[in-house]
Amino acid sequence: MHNEHHHDERTQYPISAPHTVEPSNVSAEHPPAAPSERPRIWVGSWLDYNNGVLHGQWIDAARDLDTVWTDITAMLAASPTAHQNGDVAEDWGIFDHDNFGPLRIGEHDDLHYVTRVGRGIAEHGDAFAAWAHAVDGDAERLDQFSSAFVGHYGSLHDYVLELVEAAGYDQLLDERIPVGLRPYVQLNTAGLALDLEISDAVQVYDRPGKEGVWVFRDP
């Protein structure tokens, strides 16, 4: 839990790659998150914090906005500083977060965005967090995850090899190139992988703490 913040009291209000391959390794990798693994945020009261009291609670962020907001208002209503001084605790911040994969949640991030991402991670896994980072909070593009996510691969080159195999290019070379020359004629798959990444036809993200990469394409 972060407890080193020294902020003034503030108010926060809720508010293309080739398409020849249908990935077969997407859904099996992303079972629903267990309760202990669900994205959560630690929401604290600024009134208490500015009076030397750390008051707040962990809240499951993989739920609808209204439910999360109900938990926040209940936390504020239980403010010990407000009860002691007769003040009203209204200001809050996200002091910490957990199970959001590679995505960082800021203390003043929009709650609608946070819960939308939380539900996406609970449903699809950390790949959704990588996509949220890639689209930089764009709500419309956030909803395009299912069509943009290609899958998990050992490397981008592995993805290109799958594309080539599915498209039947090696078989085409076998049919068109004389047998004596065929061993010397190969597709430059490493170059294709590099061109795909440089041209932004695909986006590649390392899996933190795990092997391989997530591959996304422009939906």
Using CA atoms, how far apart are residues 125 and 121, in angstroms rounded to an integer?
5
Across the range 148-166, mean pLDDT stands at: 94
Domain range spanning residue 175? Answer: 27-217
In a domain, 8, yes or no: no
Residue 9 in any domain: the answer is no
Residue 75 forms part of a structural domain? yes
87 alpha-carbon distance from chain centroid: 38
Residue 94 included in any domain:
yes
Mean pLDDT of 90-116: 95
Contact criterion met (CB below 8 Å) for 196 and 17 = yes
Tally DSSP H helices, then E strands, for the chain.
10, 6
| Least confidently predicted of 12-21, 34-43, 188-197, 203-212 | 12-21
Task: Examine residue 108 and state whether it is found in any structural domain, yes or no.
Answer: yes
160 inside domain: yes
Whether residue 69 is contained in a domain is answered as yes
pLDDT digits (tens, 9 = 90+) for 176-192: 999 999 999 999 999 99
Start-to-end Cα distance in the chain:
37
Instruction: Evaluate whether residue 5 is within a structural domain.
Output: no
Number of structural domains (the chain) is 1
